[in-house]
Amino acid sequence: MATDPRPGEAAPFPQLFAPLALAGRPLKNRITHASMTTRMGREQRLSEAQLRYYANRARGGCALIVTEPLNAWRRQQAPHKLRVWNDDALGGLQRLAAAVESQDCRLLGQIQDPGRGRHERGRNPLAWGASSLPDDLSWTVPHVLSGGELREMVEDFAQSAARLQRAGFSGVEISAGHGHLFHQFMSAWCNQREDDYGGTLDNRLRLTRELIAAIRAACGADFIIGLKLPGDDGVPGSIGPAEAAEIAPRLCTPGAVDYACFTWGAHARSLDMHIPDAHWPRAPFLGITRELKATIPAVPVMAVGLITDPAEAEGILARGEAELIALGRPLVTDPAWPAKARAGRGDIRYCVSCNSCWGRIMEHAPLACDNNPRVAQAEETDYWPAPALRRRRIVVVGSGIAGLEAAWVAAARGHEVTLLAAGGELGGKTRLHARLPGGENLSSTYDYQALAAKRAGVRIEYGLRASAGDIIALAPDAVLLATGSSMAWPRMLPPEWRDEGLVPDLRALMADLVDLAAPQGGTAVLFDMDHTEGTYASAQLLKKLFDRVVIMTPRDRIAEDTPLVTRLGILRRLATLGIEVLPLVEPSPRSRLEEGIVMASNVYTGAEQEIADVSLFTYSTPRVADDALAAPLREAGFELRLVGDCYAPRTVMAATADGHAAGHAL
């Protein structure tokens, strides 16, 4: 575990590690784990993975953890959420509280309900809400909650808070932002009730106000009540910064609320504000947070959203823009972020803002991370591998993120590791992606791996595109082949076009164009059978260089293999930049490239339309493993393992996980 600064050494982030008290309960620093759905609960009970997830983060040094939303009202029955509305799962709640609070970390349970909202396809079958109005994304029309049902809800939430208190929790956070149920009641866009819970702003705030009062009455003054509030939900006619400034002082009075946290976006096209990716500026909502903070001077404010670095957090606190810092994704990636920051260590494994974590939970899979292959494992916090029984000589071929991950883990286990890098830099295709628009944070994956490789003593040979002979000459005990993958030639096009170099693949093209500043003019056509983020980052770059960019895809829409929060941002940027999308088409072999004409052929009817003035035609397609070295190495009798895309082209998450496992398997 991280060490504290030596006696006499100045602590690197004095504001971040200054103590604070909420409801009289001590916080050792200002770092909060923001609520995130883990999808780790089983049948409404605590799972061992879930317990490890929170215990690992408490061990990592944050002062406060807000859990994921809990089933705290008898009608909430989601199997992955912990049951709190009766005693059925009390034992698990007690274990969770003990594991977290014993690390001098306060634990808050989140009270939340999505209301009419849904982030997945289809309608929400269990939706309830303020009024009979459709959800902006899923068009779910909710059951309209009656006065009696609202009273039952408030009563259950208050009793659940008291149960959490008995179980050893320090408080609750009410999630009344992000477009969830309480937010829906606050917003005139979703609430057209004519009873006491609708109409005037005060009426629309009534539900949240009653909830706060009921919890306070049930749990007393020394129980922390945090409140997530809308800061700007990005929906016209709903809650922007001006109305947020009216709401905050009405609800956040001292004694009622112990901290406020302003949130962004809603269950709407603005959902991507909820979890901003790296296309947003860093800490994008700080300006509005500052303005809203001024409306509630007596209540501590928690800043949240794309704050990834301790120096940024320190600056926010030092400038008085907030009293607390919430980290969501950064603590998924590195639970020891606080301890490392406190010790002034430079080896934080940073969040890359890819939102794969969100993608996972939307697939109903447990929370996982592209840049942390060990989420919720027993050994996760400040992880460094234990030595292997026998030191072996290992050659890793390929310095992309799969090979690098395997190399540092194997070397950290005591093996003698030589990494053969074809180029002069580490990180492979991720390094190229990091240079595209919105890719900046991706460098954190290979930067961390390079640091760990150095610490572990990996010997790196640059600039060697190794042949089987080169590898055999090193006489390894085992070889890890991590030579990646290449985009497949679109099979509907004549292979001669590839051989003549008429149609480059998107990756090769980006490597050439990424530094090009001079506009090329004409139309760029991108055939998209990829649907991941890098393809659209490339399209953005193309739009800087070409007059017109057309994306054609055989599916009915684009960006299908990106999480919804990311996809909404992609769609907005493409529309804003005027990038055109042609769905349900493939390029036709009857295209006349020499005349600058690409024909787009409808996948069902074969009807063709012409795209003229084409000066560039490129493709982004499913990849094929670059595993040509496998057969000769196997023949030479080596212990061989294919790693990452070289085994099978998959996701970034699969690449780091595979590399990590390979480094351990030796």
Q: Which residues bind ligand FMN (CB under 6 A)?
A: 34-37, 68-69, 110, 112, 175, 178, 228, 263, 275, 304-307, 327-330, 357-358, 361, 367
Place of tokens 């055109």: 580
Render 539-593 in DSSP notation, one character per residue.
HHHHHHHSSEEEEE-SSSSS-TTS-HHHHHHHHHHHHHHT-EEE-SEEE-TT-BG
Smallest distance from ligand FMN to CB 327, Å: 5
Complex with ligand FMN: residue 181 or 551, whichever CB lies closer: 181
Complex with ligand FMN: residue 103 or 110, whichever CB lies closer: 110
> How far apart (Å, rounded) are the C-alpha atoms in residues 18 and 29?
5
Structure tokens that stand for 101 in this block: 């609070």
Place of tokens 């804003």: 576
Structure tokens that stand for 327 in this block: 């980290």
Complex with ligand FMN: residue 83 or 178, whichever CB lies closer: 178
Smallest distance from ligand FMN to CB 489, Å: 36
The region that residue 504 occupies, defined by phi over 0 for left and psi between -120 and 50 for alpha, beta otherwise, is beta
Complex with ligand FMN: residue 364 or 459, whichever CB lies closer: 364
Smallest distance from ligand FMN to CB 176, Å: 9
> How far apart (Å, rounded) are the C-alpha atoms in residues 26 and 45?
29
Structure tokens that stand for 617 in this block: 């035609």
Smallest distance from ligand FMN to CB 332, Å: 7
Complex with ligand FMN: residue 275 or 662, whichever CB lies closer: 275
Smallest distance from ligand FMN to CB 654, Å: 18
> How far apart (Å, rounded) are the C-alpha atoms in residues 614 and 403?
38
Q: Which of 30, 4, 31 minimizes the C-alpha distance to 18?
A: 30
The HSE-up count of residue 494 (CA atoms within 13 Å, CB side) is 10
Structure tokens that stand for 544 in this block: 């800087």
Complex with ligand FMN: residue 272 or 505, whichever CB lies closer: 272
Complex with ligand FMN: residue 503 or 565, whichever CB lies closer: 565
Query: Strand 20-22 and strand 25-27: pairing?
Result: antiparallel
Complex with ligand FMN: residue 332 or 406, whichever CB lies closer: 332
Smallest distance from ligand FMN to CB 67, Å: 9
Complex with ligand FMN: residue 111 or 579, whichever CB lies closer: 111
Sign, Cα dihedral of 307, 310, 315, 321 = positive
> How far apart (Å, rounded) are the C-alpha atoms in residues 475 and 492?
44
SS3 304: strand
Complex with ligand FMN: residue 92 or 366, whichever CB lies closer: 366
Question: Which residue's CB atom is positioned nearest to ligand FMN?
Answer: 328
Q: Decide: 371 and 349 in contact? Cβ < 8 Å.
A: yes
Smallest distance from ligand FMN to CB 293, Å: 17
User: Phi and psi of 405, rounded to 5°?
Assistant: -65, -45
> How far apart (Å, rounded) are the C-alpha atoms in residues 350 and 306?
11
User: Phi and psi of 480, rounded to 5°?
Assistant: -110, 120
Q: Number of helices (H) and strands (E) in the chain: give both, helices first.
A: 22, 26
Smallest distance from ligand FMN to CB 110, Å: 6
Smallest distance from ligand FMN to CB 165, Å: 20
Smallest distance from ligand FMN to CB 281, Å: 12
